[in-house]
Structure 1
């Protein structure tokens, strides 16, 4: 963590590059952001199977970040950059319309009603996503907590920059192509909860 993370981490004290593809050692054609990558299963799988895509992974928890740093180092992944603090900082730092895709998968649901104001999905943060995403790109959200799924649907459908992409009843019940699963999803399945997979298009 002391030796490797500084080289992988975004330096938000510097001006962002005009083109986020320049953040990566690898030659990449697009840039994807994952907010709160948890155990890193999804982030690392996508980085391995999509070497032409640059991935920015954000995770504030030290244990989870340490696992990601170890895997990126051991596998010499050249298309991953990391950030270990608040995702708001990154969303405010990146240039306007610079991201090709953004994920938020199984975030902390803050299930008690009095804590709902702590949920990351809110009007202000959707403004941030909307600023950072390119028109026509996707924002993807997954959760097994019905109240958070409903919350996200309502907030995204009320936001002028996003359209829900579902066309059939099964669309939001089916993971995206190449989905590797996550440990949080596995825990939900063990406990009898079902994941929902929402895709929103940036207008």
Structure 2
């Protein structure tokens, strides 16, 4: 099949925010100067219409970890700094969060990170099978209204592609302060190919967990964190 005959990449609805408050001058500087060297090439449909699997030689043979929706980036940078033996990818479409992360990366001088500033489903399209050995989903958008629950990450449209790119035995961590999100995660994640290994509440997070600003906000507002650990079958 010639390149001109290839089907176009799948068009998807995206419901989350991509922009927030006006960026500070420092954040504009990070985006202008620091993003491009860290951005994974060949993820978007425009750059890779054939959806050819990514060349992961950038990992140098190290295990690959993925954080879906890294918020302000404190967890992602903490994990990169504490685990120089791995390479991490952070996927996040929210420009303000990307700018905050870039500032933290510059301050911490970590180098074992790559970024996808967009929809993680585009990344799933081009990650090789069984290439990811750990996944983090921290305080995802809860989409609290019942009619919006299908937009949550813990639905087959996200979980089945995630299962394809995760290796057998890979760890999948979920942190949330929304009880109904826990309910849906426990219902939807196992059928996608993951087994529940651990379910814990406030005060029993993972040993390497850095409390994030989202968690601190939840605690201030009287909501209890939940920590779920799954493994890929």
Q: 1:68 to 1:185 in 2, by over 3 A?
A: same
Q: Deviations over 1:127-159 (max 9, x none)?
A: 111100000111111110001110111001333
Residue 205 of structure 2: aligned partner: 175
Q: Are 2:107 and 1:107 equivalent residues in the alignment?
A: no
Contact 1:28 1:51 in 2 (8 A): no
Q: CA deviation at 1:187?
A: 0.5
Residue 40 of structure 1: aligned partner: 73
Q: CA deviation at 1:28?
A: 6.0
Secondary structure at 2:208 match in 1: coil
Contact 2:77 2:108 in 1 (8 A): no
Q: Are 2:196 and 1:164 equivalent residues in the alignment?
A: yes
Q: Which runs of 5+ in 1 are unaligned?
A: none
Contact 2:73 2:104 in 1 (8 A): no
Residue 58 of structure 2: aligned partner: 23
- Superposed CA RMSD in Å reads 1.4
Secondary structure at 2:189 match in 1: helix
Q: Which has the higher contact order (CA 8 A, sep 6+)?
A: 1
Q: Are 2:157 and 1:124 equivalent residues in the alignment?
A: yes
Report the count of equivalent residues.
Answer: 193
Residue 170 of structure 2: aligned partner: 137
Displaced runs of 4+ in structure 1, greater than 6 A? none
Distance in 1 (alpha carbons) for counterparts of 2:190 and 2:112: 32
Distance in 2 (alpha carbons) for counterparts of 1:172 and 1:91: 28
Distance in 1 (alpha carbons) for counterparts of 2:128 and 2:137: 19
- If you compute each CA radius of gyration, which structure gives the higher value, 1 or 2? 2
Contact 1:28 1:79 in 2 (8 A): no
